[in-house]
Amino acid sequence: MNPREKITLSTLMARTRQGRKITMLTAYDYPTAQIQELAGVDCILVGDSAAQVVLGFDSTLPIKLDFMITIAAAVRRGAPSALLVGDMPYLSFNVNAEESIRNAHRFMAEAGCDCVKMEGHARIADTVRLMSAATIPVMVHMGLRPQAVHQFGGYRAQGRDARSAQRLIDDAKIMEEAGACALLLEAVPPEPAKIIAESTRLPVIGCGAGPHCDGHVVVFHDMAGLTQTALPKFVKRYGDAREQFRRAVEAYVLDITNGQYPAVEHCYQMEAGEADKLKASGSA
């Protein structure tokens, strides 16, 4: 496969103007990033969802910044041309502007990300503005925000009544004015998502936000069939990787148990005559 041109924020802006949909998936490791690069995925999000699907926590809150930087760098090595988004973990951008910029800088400088993602609403506008002024592009994650799960009282869709939908629309305008480079809408009905997508020049990525967004993202493990838990309503499963892996491991276990592996073809051979010498030496 011939290397493709680097996907940049300008690429996303151009596709948004042209009405061309943007593809996005999560990735947390080098081989998965390679697969997505070969498949032509435009954007890869190194999401804090790794806390759940990789580390086994029941929320995204426990994941650490250092871990996120490490896996983001691995994804960059696997997908050099994709637009790479580093997800700012819980409380890494909420304490003060200086710490937010310092933490985001690590995603850009150490991991090679093209932008960072922050969960929030109008209250983080000043942080978005300062980070943009510091040359750090920010994608703002709105709607259902997993880091605010305890405030929401669970993982619940947002903007389902006119008042809260209008709040989302207003917040989207504030984020654009603050200098956000893109928006991500999670678990939002199609009606407010359509209004937001049509009223902003920014690329709007949907995550369970209906068909009118400029692009769409889901967790790779969910769509590929690696997760065992119930899927969110908006996820379409495209494979059954968990079952395929299980069968491969079962076959491996069976081959070893039956003595069929390793076979001759899996063994290194001594140089001609050396085995006889070894035997004659009395070591065998």
Helix (H), strand (E), coil (C) string for 87-144: ECCCCCCCCCHHHHHHHHHHHHHCCCCCEEEEECCHHHHHHHHHHHHCCCCEEEEEEC
**Which amino acids are annotated catalytic?**
186
**CA–CA distances in Å: residue 232 to residues 3, 163, 206:** 34, 24, 14
| 174 burial type by CB count under 10 A (0-12 exposed, 13-18 middle, 19+ buried) | middle
pLDDT in tens, 172-229: 999 999 999 999 999 999 999 999 999 999 999 999 999 999 999 999 999 999 998 8
pLDDT in tens, 72-120: 999 999 999 999 999 999 999 988 889 999 999 999 999 999 999 999 9
Class of the domain covering 9-239:
alpha beta
Cα torsion angle, 91, 93, 99, 103, sign? positive
Please, where in the chain does CATH 3.20.20.60 lie?
9-239
